[in-house]
Each structure stands twice: as structure tokens, then as C-alpha cells.
A and B are shown apart, each in its own frame.
Chain A
Amino acid sequence: AQSVTQLGSHVSVSEGALVLLRCNYSSSVPPYLFWYVQYPNQGLQLLLKYTTGATLVKGINGFEAEFKKSETSFHLTKPSAHMSDAAEYFCAVSLNTGGFKTIFGAGTRLFVKA
């Protein structure tokens, strides 16, 4: 069965430190992978996506993610955290199983300390 696992429901980093949010997926078909960010009382906003081609994808706000098929991972990184990055982040997998089905991870809340 297809699934998405985000390791760590909460991650805390200091301002200026590396941000690493982990996402692993399980899929029997080639996945399309997404990261979304959600600020308080807002909907989800697409950060970046991987469909085909280059495995390192860059998104908005300085985030990037690398698709590693052998590890079934799509971890999100940012070299230097900013206070405004504090939010909840969701990894999602979209699978073409005769029709697209999107599965979201449980989310990781990122805290940024001054």
C-alpha cells in the first residue's frame, strides 16, 4: 500500500541553522512528490515538487529537496533557517494508479529559535 512517513512531528532549529525535514514514501509506481507549507490559520502552499528529470528540486523561500529513489526519500532542506520559516510542513505523494491519488504525510511542525 502507498504511504508517506514524515519523521518527527516537531523539529526545532536555531535561526541560521540548517533545516532538514524528512520524508519517506512507499509506492509501487513512480511517484510525484511534493512539499507544502502551512502557516497558522491558512491553507497549504506548494513549496516544491518532483515529477520527472532532475532529482534535486528547488522551491520557494530557499527550500530544496532531493528525490532518492534507492532510499525512497524526499527530504526537505534549507541551509539557513529564518524565523519566518516557522510553520507546518507536509510531504505528499501523488500516484497515477489509473487516476491520480494524493496522499499527505502527518506533517512536521518547524520551530525556529532566535
Chain B
Amino acid sequence: KAGVTQTPRYLIKTRGQQVTLSCSPISGHRSVSWYQQTPGQGLQFLFEYFSETQRNKGNFPGRFSGRQFSNSRSEMNVSTLELGDSALYLCASSLGPRDRGLDGYTFGSGTRLTVV
């Protein structure tokens, strides 16, 4: 079966711009979580969506937002980009929030965002 698909793989944006990243989970998975990965901070949880509702949110400013569609695909948006937003953004899917605890995540390959 197809894995978790993240698009685009690479992005270069200018400070002040906004960006939208997309994630298509594994078929049948209804929970999508987003993580930011940087060399200095490691993996930091952004938010989790299940059944089109945000279930959990990490400690990121309001410039970071997301949504989930009825087909479980998810998008995250970052507005007013800052240099520090440069990172690998990872999407992870699971059947549901409970299954994340039992079965772990399936991750996509990530979107590498560079802000210049």
C-alpha cells in the first residue's frame, strides 16, 4: 500500500512569505500529526488532527496552523515566515490517536523548507 505522501519535498521561501505543506496519510489512517525537525531542537510536535478536528497542539506560535479534510489529507500553513522556520517538516499518520500509542507512527519523507 502507498505510504505517507508529503508534498512538496523541497521549498525555498523568502522571509515574510507564507507556505502550505500537504500530507496524504496511508489509506485508512485517520490521524495525522505534524512535527518540525531541526538540528538544534530535534523533533518538536506541532499538532495532531483526527476526524478533521485538531486534537493536540504543541508550543508553536499562531503563525503555524493546520487543517484536515474529510479524506484525512492534511495541510499545514506557516504565515509570515522567519529564518528560524527553516526545518524538515514531517507528517506522521496512524489509524487513530489510540493506535498511535499502540502501533506508533508511519512517517512521510518530509518537506525541507528553507527560508532565506
Contact = CB atoms under 8 A, between A and B. Distances in A.
Interface in B69-105: 90-92, 97-98, 100-105
Interface residues of A, number: 24
Contacts of A96: 101
A99 B57 CA distance: 12
Interface stretch (A11-19, A36-44, A79-87): A36-44
Contacts of B45: 102
A41 B109 contact: yes
Contacts of B103: 49
Interface in A87-114: 90, 92, 94-96, 99-102, 104-107
A72 interface: no
A94 B109 contact: no
Interface string B4-30: 101000000000000000000000000
B43 A90 contact: yes
Contact of A106 (B42, B55, B106, B110): B42
A104 B43 contact: yes
A43 B90 contact: yes
Contacts of B49: none
B104 A34 contact: yes
Contacts of B35: 104
Interface of A: 32, 34, 36, 41-46, 49, 51, 90, 92, 94-96, 99-102, 104-107
Interface of B: 4, 6, 33, 35, 42-43, 45, 55-56, 90-92, 97-98, 100-110, 112
30 contacts: A32-B101, A32-B102, A34-B104, A36-B104, A41-B109, A41-B112, A42-B109, A42-B110, A43-B6, A43-B91, A43-B107, A43-B109, A43-B110, A44-B107, A46-B104, A46-B106, A49-B103, A90-B43, A94-B100, A94-B101, A94-B102, A96-B101, A99-B55, A99-B56, A102-B101, A102-B105, A104-B43, A105-B42, A106-B42, A107-B42
8 nearest A-B residue pairs (beta carbon) = A43-B107, A100-B101, A94-B101, A104-B43, A44-B107, A106-B42, A46-B104, A43-B109
